[in-house]
């Protein structure tokens, strides 16, 4: 499976593994130089990426670990960590999907999405003096469901992506440093202990997960 010729196919591997879903990543070459794709061309490429990425991305879990972690670039991770459901980001946009559901740790990546910081919605939602958290677990949530692009189901939804539905989000008062990874990844027992020790109010929720 490859992207249509109008896309920058060199980005296929990156986007199909850990996408930052935006048409700005796609360009078409013309004699005058590289130009952004049309909305229809972007849509075609999103659909191609979704097909590539919809296959199961992990082997069967023999240990049935009911918790995963997802690395997300700031400020998106900070917007998810907000506990006010009226303004917080409760949809995570991905060009791939998964059958897995359960407790999801939100990990802030070390790389900041500078373009997102310039968005009015992000600036208006985060306090002016807010300091981005990087390279740490910042919140715990439930991955309640995933649906295909159905339009702007929330102000944070992105067209051409799978919309990951996040629920029961709790912010970590004390973020815990950790290295991220692509796709869904399993937190180590040590990381879970560190989260519980530094954030005692989450001990019960994490204990319920480990006992499941």
Residues 32 and 108 grouped into a single domain: no
Neighbours of 151 (CB within 10 A): 7
Residues 89 and 192 grouped into a single domain: yes
For residue 59, is it within any domain? no
Quote the pLDDT of residue 21: 40
Q: How many residues does the chain have?
A: 212
Residue the block writes with tokens 């998810």: 80
Mean pLDDT, each 10-residue run in order, the chain (212 residues): 44 44 50 66 63 44 71 96 93 91 96 90 87 95 90 82 94 96 92 96 86 59
- CATH number, domain of 150, equals 2.30.130.30
Residues 141 and 92 grouped into a single domain: yes
Quote the pLDDT of residue 152: 72
For residue 2, is it within any domain? no
Which residues of the chain form beta strands (DSSP E)?
Answer: 27-30, 33-36, 67-72, 91-94, 102-108, 136-147, 162-177, 184-185
Quote the pLDDT of residue 149: 82
For residue 60, is it within any domain? no
Each as own residue / partner, the long-range contacts of residues 189-198 (CB below 8 Å, 24 or more positions apart, any chain) are 191/137, 192/67, 195/105, 195/137, 195/140, 198/172, 198/173, 198/174
Quote the pLDDT of residue 1: 32
Q: Under DSSP, is residue 71 helix (H, G, I), strand (E, B) or coil? A: strand
C-alpha closest to that of 181 among 191, 168, 166, 170: 191
Domain that holds residue 112: 67-211
Quote the pLDDT of residue 37: 64
For residue 61, is it within any domain? no
Number of domains in the chain: 2
């Amino acid at each position: 499976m490859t992207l249509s010729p109008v896309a920058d196919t060199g980005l296929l591997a990156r986007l199909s593994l850990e996408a930052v879903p935006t048409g700005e990543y796609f360009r078409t070459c013309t004699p005058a130089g590289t130009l952004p794709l049309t909305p229809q061309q972007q849509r075609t490429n999103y659909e191609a990426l979704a097909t590539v990425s919809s296959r199961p991305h992990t082997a069967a879990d023999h240990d049935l670990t009911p918790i995963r972690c997802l690395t997300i670039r700031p400020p998106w991770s900070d917007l998810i960590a907000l506990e006010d459901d009226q303004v917080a980001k409760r949809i995570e946009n991905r060009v791939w999907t998964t059958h897995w559901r359960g407790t999801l740790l939100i990990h802030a990546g070390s790389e900041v999405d500078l373009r997102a910081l310039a968005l009015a919605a992000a600036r208006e939602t985060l306090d002016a003096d807010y300091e981005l958290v990087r390279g740490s677990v910042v919140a715990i949530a439930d991955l309640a469901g995933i649906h295909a692009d159905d339009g702007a189901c929330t102000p944070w939804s992105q067209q051409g992506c799978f919309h990951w539905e996040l629920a029961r989000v709790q912010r970590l008062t004390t973020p815990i440093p950790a290295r991220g990874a692509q796709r869904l990844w399993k937190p180590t027992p040590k990381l879970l202990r560190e989260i519980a020790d530094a954030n005692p109010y989450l001990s019960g929720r994490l204990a319920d997960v480990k006992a499941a």
